[in-house]
Amino acid sequence: MAGKPLNKKNLVDLGAETLADLLLEAVKGDAARQRRVRMVLSANDGPEAIAADVRKRYASIRRARSYISRKAQTKLAQELAELTQLIETRIAPDAPDAAFDLLWAQLHLAPAIHERTDDSWGTVGEVMDSAMEAVSRLAPRLSTPPEPLAEAIFEAIADDGYGAFDQAVPALAEALGTAGLARLKSLAEAARAAPLAEDDLARYAFISDREAREARALAGRNRTAEMILQDVADAEGDVDSWLAQYTAEQLTYHTIAPSAAQRLLAAGRPEDALALIEAALPGGANDDDDTPDLDEAHFACLDALGRREDLRAALWQRFERHLCPAALRRHLRLLPDFEDIEAEDAARQVVLAFQPIEMALSYCLQAPDLPLAVELIETRIAEIDGDAYEVLTPLAETLAPSHPLSAVLLWRAMVDFALVRARSGRYGHAARHLAACGAADVEILDYGSHLSHADYLDALRRAHARKAAFLERAGLV
């Protein structure tokens, strides 16, 4: 007889006493789950009781010194995320200032955690970002005086070595108001104007030339102040102050120019935005660097200025250089009636001739345009690099139902690469690709100029007779 499904209704029917026994049994020996249950119990006693328990947990994390493994890091991140939710749902509604203090304290835990673990996956960083997002939602309800709040923000950012407070100014701009932003700006300007301290210079003692050492130390020290000034300028809608933090050369960097142009566009200055972007665009026709953000900013400037012809040309240029499906689609939408058909044909020819072919195949997958992929594979199969599995594998799987022969040719390219280059680590993948070829064989009535599946297997046995590890995995012995 089948048991009852495990759902909320059936659990409620068990009654409080039975559920309590089950819960105690489930959390036995699991400190993290026990803490979570205690937090929920504290919630019934009001915000003060929850806040006291949260502070105790923060203190415990600060005192800890042992290394945090990847598994433990995941658990800790989950716990902190649950604490953020608890603060926001159980404390913030009745005591927003207390909730802010707790979230601010959690952000201050970042150094104590980062110093004891490897956050290369960004797990801890994501949790801190979530806490800052909760701070942002709280900002309109805070009663903290703006100037002391500005001082707390400045101190937190100045001491922040792990980026936990990078978004503090945007998050709290509303709470800061005019007075708080002015105070924050004055603090940053004073810090930037202050003379270098010996501690600042000591960090760059490895630079023998004193002038170079001072210049490096000054730039390093001022980076935080300049970041704050930019955030304040953004909050005040002062695009010129934001731009003033960069040199003319820096404003041509493809990592900076798009943000600058977006701010100029938002300020109703599309001509200035376009001039800035044009100075940052790659110079030569043979420049293959892909700068999607820069290109998007360029398109936005041309659109804002109503320069339709120039926008079409820029979109086509991006498509020609990087086979960007989105750019082509937008280009086609801007064409007059009936011209789009001719443009689509021209675009096909660009893709068919594009080098390297792997980028052309990737375009076909993204567009998607499977008939074009089939034509590419059939006409340029010898050029396909079987090492490009990140493109060939998903494309083969997509082609298999409607174009099995093309899928088989891609799988064979990856099999041949693994065997010819003796990449033993890929033999398992190659065996699976070969099995996929066998499954597709029943759907292929004519291999044309290509080997049939049986002939291909015979050719593999002859050419790679000594690769027993592969032959056994593939069932060819």
Q: Name which of 110, 90, 93 is nearest 42 in CA terms.
A: 90
Domain that holds residue 388: 381-473
Distance, CA of 86 to CA of 83 (rounded, Å):
5
pLDDT per residue of the chain (477 residues) written in tens, 0 to 9 = 456 777 777 777 778 888 777 777 776 766 666 666 666 666 666 678 888 889 999 999 999 999 999 899 999 999 999 999 999 998 999 999 999 999 999 999 999 999 999 988 899 999 999 999 999 999 999 999 999 999 999 999 988 989 999 999 999 999 999 999 999 999 999 999 999 888 888 888 899 898 998 899 888 888 889 999 999 999 999 999 999 989 999 999 999 999 999 999 999 999 999 999 999 998 755 456 889 999 999 999 999 999 999 999 999 999 999 999 999 999 999 998 888 889 999 999 999 999 999 999 999 999 999 999 999 999 999 999 999 999 999 999 999 999 999 999 999 999 999 999 999 999 999 999 999 999 999 999 999 999 999 999 999 999 999 999 999 998 887
Give the position of tokens 């102040």.
Answer: 225
Distance, CA of 270 to CA of 35 (rounded, Å):
55
Residue 360 lies in a domain: no
Side-chain-side CA neighbours of residue 234 (13 Å): 18
Residue 120 lies in a domain: no
Distance, CA of 58 to CA of 108 (rounded, Å):
10
Residue 420 lies in a domain: yes
Distance, CA of 241 to CA of 469 (rounded, Å):
65
Q: Name which of 249, 243, 229, 234 is nearest 184 in CA terms.
A: 229
**How many distinct structural domains can be found in the chain?**
1
Residue 103 lies in a domain: no
Residue 41 lies in a domain: no
Task: Say whether the peptide bond before residue 368 is cis (omega within 30 degrees of 0).
Answer: yes
Residue 458 lies in a domain: yes
Q: CA 362, 365, 371 angle in degrees (round to 5)?
A: 110
Q: Which residues does 255 contact at the CB level (< 8 Å), separation at least 6?
A: none
Length of the chain: 477
Give the position of tokens 């210049």.
Answer: 215
Residue 59 lies in a domain: no
User: pTM to 2 decimals?
Assistant: 0.76
Q: CA 370, 371, 373 angle in degrees (round to 5)?
A: 60
Distance, CA of 269 to CA of 271 (rounded, Å):
6
Distance, CA of 404 to CA of 401 (rounded, Å):
6
Give the position of tokens 């240029």.
Answer: 317
From residue 347, how far is each of 114, 321, 325 by CA, in Å?
49, 12, 10
Residue 466 lies in a domain: yes
Distance, CA of 297 to CA of 259 (rounded, Å):
8
Distance, CA of 251 to CA of 343 (rounded, Å):
35
